[in-house]
Structure 1
Amino acid sequence: MSTPLLEKDAVKAAALRRMKLVATGLLVILGIIFVFAFALQDQYPWLQYVRAAAEGGMVGALADWFAVTALFKHPLGLKIPHTAIIPRNKDQIGATLGDFVEDNFLSDEVVEAKLASIGVAERAGAWLSRPESAARVAAEGAAAIRGLLRVLDDEAVREVLESIFRRHVVDVPWGPPVGRMAEKVFDEGHHHKLVDLLVDSLTEWVEQNPHVVSRLVSERSPSWVPGFLDDLVGERVQVELTRFLEAVQDDPNHQVRRALDDYLRGLANDLQHDPEAMAKAERIKEQVLDDPRVKELVTQTWSTIKNALAEAVDDPASELTTNFKSAVQDFGTRLVSDPELAAKVNAWVADAAGYLVRTYRKDIAGVITETVERWDAEETSEKIELQVGKDLQFIRINGTVVGSLAGLAIFTVAHAVFG
């Protein structure tokens, strides 16, 4: 069943009808000429040449009309063998066309050569470096993010986040990985800065709070000890404590520092190899992660991310949008100015295109075959005739002219030889 013609197809159909009228009109004109020439050739002998030309032109016109018509339908509705070629063989034509496209257009060599000639990275870079292009990319990206946020189910996302958190944080033993990380930190001495900060802070606190030391001494001394003696002892304790802390500050190899290093390394080793220490670490982990506030934090993570994204993409002047536009323009400028980066991008594009072609070229070519197979035979014939029928009518016209010339030449030669 025929389908309604599109506007551009309607123009082609009108042009095809005009060319058919021209070709058929020539045949009719030659027929009229033949009749008059045949009737008057005895009275006017020179009309024999006109008759011969008209006769040859009609033969050529009829032969080419039959050939052109036989491509698309049965001439005069007569089911002559080897006519209506396209309707009868539309499936084979579709399969052949699909194979032709697959072999000649979807090969690695053709795609790679085309991409190399285009210079995808350079062209993309020139386009992306323009402010209006970066703004368009940002607008399209914002639209995509908004659509994604509308489609995603909040509860499902929370479940995924909780599952990821549980799989990578809760279910994983903390002892061995924390021990390995701590061991590396301690071996490389990265904790010394923290120890220095701790000792400096403690020293500063002792110097600024002498009354606290005196009060602690008084509270812990017997009640029968005189107050002045408590003050002397408190002052002495503060002086010695300050000297001790200053010694720890000044001496990187102080025995306190070495003892602390030994303790920390032992703790790191126990977390990796001591079952009791590992079990203690697991208990601490469970106590921390069982806190409802931690679980609430995990479930609120998606809401926070979603709201932040929604606000950022809705505001053209947001920091996210501004930085994204700047990044797009910078990337485009680099593609134009950095040949090495452009070559890498072109190679990535070529690899990706090659993979798609190798993997899906049969599917892509199959679209042609399957589309033609779904077409009705008459519809297929009409579509093809619409595309090439105008040129085929020129074949009819050319056949008419060539036939006329051939008929005239044959009659002239025969008349000259046998006349």
Structure 2
Amino acid sequence: MVSLAGEAARGMVSRGRWLIYAQRGRRVMAGLAVTGVVAGTVAARPICMIEPGEVGIRVNRLTGNVSELNEGWSLLLPEVHRLSRYSLKDQTYQPSRSARASDPAPFQSVEGLSIGVEVNIRYLLDAEKIRTLAARLPENVGQEIIEPVIDGVLRRHFAQHTVREIFSTQRVQIQKDLTAELTPLLAADGVILRSVTLGNVDLPHQYRTGMEALLAEELNAEKMRYTLDLKDKQVKQSALEAEADKVRREKAAEAAGNEEIIAARARAEAMRHVLPFKEKEIEQRRLEAEAAKVSRLTQATAEAEAHRIEAAGEADARRKLAESDAYRVEVTGKAASEQLARDAELISRNPLLIQKTLADKLSDKIQVIIAPPQAGGFIAGNLLGQPQTAGYAGAPKPSSEAVASTGEMSSQEE
């Protein structure tokens, strides 16, 4: 045994020497140290996460410094820092133990009756005051500070009012009073009150039954009172209607008489004005008849004068037309005579002009050259079927072949 222990001791010493003096051993020791540090860090969790809508208050236990951590990752050293999380979102508180009259902690009215009231308190933490109040505020602010304060105020207020006031008549005023008292109390602890809402009011069964009976009696009494008032008003209405009917008939008779008097006066006044108007109307008609007579005479005279002027104008026009026709015939005859004289003189000087004129009128596609005609012949003799036996003066007679070719050319031209 001693030898085994000695060998184990020598092995451990040699292993320690190897770890200290050998390069590989030092590497193994450094790796083990780094692994130990990483494992310790992971086990201690020095990094914390602040969720959206939250704020973290980190307190240094060594120095006592307080820092506010916003949304994101933050450093948190174990045993050095203490972190408190606070929600910045709107929160609600509903006293669930006092919502019904049969719950464990119902509210008490001034009569000493147990009632249940559904109350909804909406609040949020003031982000500007959390850092300054974190030293004295617990982590669960709602359960340890807000709920006790609200319960105390609610019970004190409900104890000052009757069930009837809480149930109906003073409901809005109670809600306003609760808001006015809770706002400064919660603000002192860094809490902002959003609203206070009163919901259903649960009454004890016996009280509810009695209240229903009382309400029924009150309703009957109120109904009877309104019925009597209605009957009284109906009687007064009937009397007023009768009086009004009487006054109306009197006024109607008086109005009818006044209307007849006014109508008679109006007729008399109208007649007084109508007579002169009638006289003026008769005089106007007489003057209109005389004016119409004068107008017709004037129109007839004008029409006769117009007919006379038209007849004189028409006769003068016909005379001038006859004179112009005679002058035209005379001038045209003189011009024709002079033209014939000129033509005769021109033909006498140029006998070939008649033949040229005839050739021009044959066709616009024939080109004509005037040559001296044969003795005793005519330029259009061939067209008229006249024989051409004579020749030009002093010209030789054409041969038979020339005559034949001339005939062929004439036929081709035709």
Same fold (TM over 0.5): no
Greater strand share, structure number = 2
Greater helix share, structure number = 1
* Bigger relative CO (Cα 8 Å, ≥ 6 apart): 1
Q: Which has the larger radius of gyration?
A: 2
